[in-house]
């Protein structure tokens, strides 16, 4: 080999090593130029009793969502009692780590105490009284974190699968304009906060049409809505990547950014149609829990491929996708271990039960350095 050829080889080797050294090893670096990558965090991560989980969040993610600590029943359990202890710690965690902090959520049919809808005698409350409670809750909670929580899920899951409005107690007592009012009050309480409508199964065209109609109603009332949160509780075989792509583009065409707010991919046998309805509860059966002893390698690879193809969709639409948040940190944390069947062993996230990155993590983190086909 000539000296010249040797020098060229050394230069090529050095360049490859430099590229390898530059390849991002964290989700937040890999997607830094495109969108926030977030995780929903639980009480153990917020308080640090799960130090390993908290460290993964700090190292890998640049946005957090509160899995439970800002829900009405936790933060406002009784009429004049607000309990902000954990929520304060949640916000401090995000600030310490310079994160985009999400508030979840202000108005939902679930995890809201019965007293909210009742008078002192346990009878249904009037429309005006219910709206006043919603107003006061929003001003108290959003006001407390004004300028510190950047993005609020104002109304959560207000739609039925056919796109009509869910007949929740909010709807039955207050009528449909509780939704516009909630957005208006959240905006008044913190004019700089990004306000979101958040729901699951927006991949279903009928439900998506309902969401778009809702967004237009809020816009027509001249009330700000910045983002639609498509939760993304998905499966290996549903939705198709084309359907996910249509979901993102059609929602964005309504004039909002799209955030994937609760992404996870359920690998376990389905016991009901695609849904994330928290009230569902199916009897346990070993046949419904096939990977209790571990996930087979082919399923790990299938999950990795599935995650990569979904993130490729989000990357292609990074002009309108503002954030992708995983609903949990490691598989051990996921709500899918206990829903819709209690006590299953689920594998829906990017980190395994020991907090180690899975093949799905590797596939997602390396994706932005590969070509993403238009």
Comparing CB distances to ligand G3I, the nearer of 251 and 276 is 276
Please pick, among 92, 95, 157, 244, the residue that the annotation labels catalytic.
Answer: 157
- Shortest gap between Cβ of 102 and ligand G3I (angstroms)? 11
Tell me which long-range contacts 267-271 makes (C-beta under 8 A, separation of at least 24): 267/235, 267/236, 267/291, 267/295, 267/299, 267/302, 267/303, 267/346, 267/347, 267/348, 268/336, 268/344, 268/346, 270/235, 271/340, 271/341
Instruction: Output the smallest distance, CB 334 to ligand G3I, in A.
Output: 8
Contact string (CB under 6 A) for ligand G3I, positions 259-298, x = contact: ---x-------------x-x--------------------
Would you say 87 and 75 are in contact if contact means Cβ atoms under 8 Å apart?
A: yes
Given the residues 67, 203, 244, 262, the one annotated as active site: 262
Size of the site for ligand G3I (CB under 6 A): 11
Angle subtended by helix axes 359-366 and 297-316, to nearest 10: 20
Binding ligand G3I by CB under 6 A: which of 68, 151, 196, 330? 68
Region near ligand G3I per CB under 6 A, out of 63-71, 81-89, 120-128, 136-144:
63-71
Stretch of residues binding ligand G3I (CB under 6 A), selected from 31-39, 67-75, 283-291, 358-366: 67-75
Contact (Cβ atoms closer than 8 angstroms) between residue 53 and residue 14: no
Tell me: does residue 44 bind ligand G3I (CB under 6 A): no
Confirm if 93 and 51 have CB atoms less than 8 A apart.
Answer: no
Residues 223-262 that bind ligand G3I (CB under 6 A): 231, 262
Answer for which of 35, 45, 54, 67 binds ligand G3I (CB under 6 A) is: 67
> In 3-state terms, the chain is what percent helix, strand and coil (to 5)?
45, 15, 40
d(C-alpha 27, C-alpha 64), whole Å? 13
For β-strands 227-230 and 257-266, DSSP reports them as: parallel
The residue number whose beta carbon is nearest to ligand G3I equals 335
Asked if 203 is an active-site residue, the reply is no
Give the residue numbers marked as catalytic: 157, 262
């Amino acid at each position: 080999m000539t000296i010249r050829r040797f020098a060229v080889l050394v230069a090529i080797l050095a360049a490859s090593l430099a590229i390898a050294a530059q390849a991002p090893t964290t989700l937040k670096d890999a997607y830094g130029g495109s969108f926030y990558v977030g995780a929903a965090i639980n009480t153990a991560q917020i308080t640090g009793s799960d130090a390993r989980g908290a460290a993964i969040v700090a190292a890998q993610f640049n946005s957090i969502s509160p899995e439970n600590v800002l829900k009405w029943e936790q933060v406002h359990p009784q009429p004049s009692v607000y309990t902000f202890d954990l929520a304060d710690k949640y916000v401090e965690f995000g600030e310490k780590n310079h994160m985009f902090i999400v508030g979840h959520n202000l108005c939902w049919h679930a995890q809201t105490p019965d007293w909210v809808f009742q008078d002192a005698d346990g009878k249904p409350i009037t429309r005006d009284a219910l709206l006043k409670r919603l107003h006061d809750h929003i001003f108290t909670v959003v006001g407390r974190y004004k300028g510190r929580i950047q993005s609020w899920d104002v109304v959560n899951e207000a739609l039925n699968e056919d796109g009509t409005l869910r007949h929740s107690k909010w709807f039955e007592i207050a009528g449909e304009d509780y939704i516009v009012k909630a957005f208006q009050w959240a905006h008044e309480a913190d004019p700089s906060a990004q306000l979101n409508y958040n729901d699951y199964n927006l991949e279903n065209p009928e439900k998506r049409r309902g969401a778009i109609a809702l967004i237009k109603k809020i816009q027509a009332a001249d009330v700000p809505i910045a983002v639609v949160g498509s939760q993304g509780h998905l499966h290996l075989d549903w939705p198709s990547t084309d359907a996910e792509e249509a979901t993102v583009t059609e929602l964005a065409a309504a004039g909002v950014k799209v955030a994937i707010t609760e992404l996870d991919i359920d690998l376990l046998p389905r016991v009901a149609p695609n849904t994330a309805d928290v009230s569902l509860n199916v009897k346990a059966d070993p046949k419904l829990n096939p990977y209790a002893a571990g996930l087979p390698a082919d399923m790990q690879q299938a999950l990795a491929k599935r995650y990569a193809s979904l993130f490729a969709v989000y990357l292609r639409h990074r002009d309108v996708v503002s954030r992708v948040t995983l609903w949990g940190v490691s598989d051990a944390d996921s709500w899918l271990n206990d829903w819709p069947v209690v006590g299953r062993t689920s594998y829906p996230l990017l980190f395994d039960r020991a907090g180690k990155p899975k093949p799905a993590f590797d596939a997602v983190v390396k994706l932005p350095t590969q070509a993403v086909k238009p």
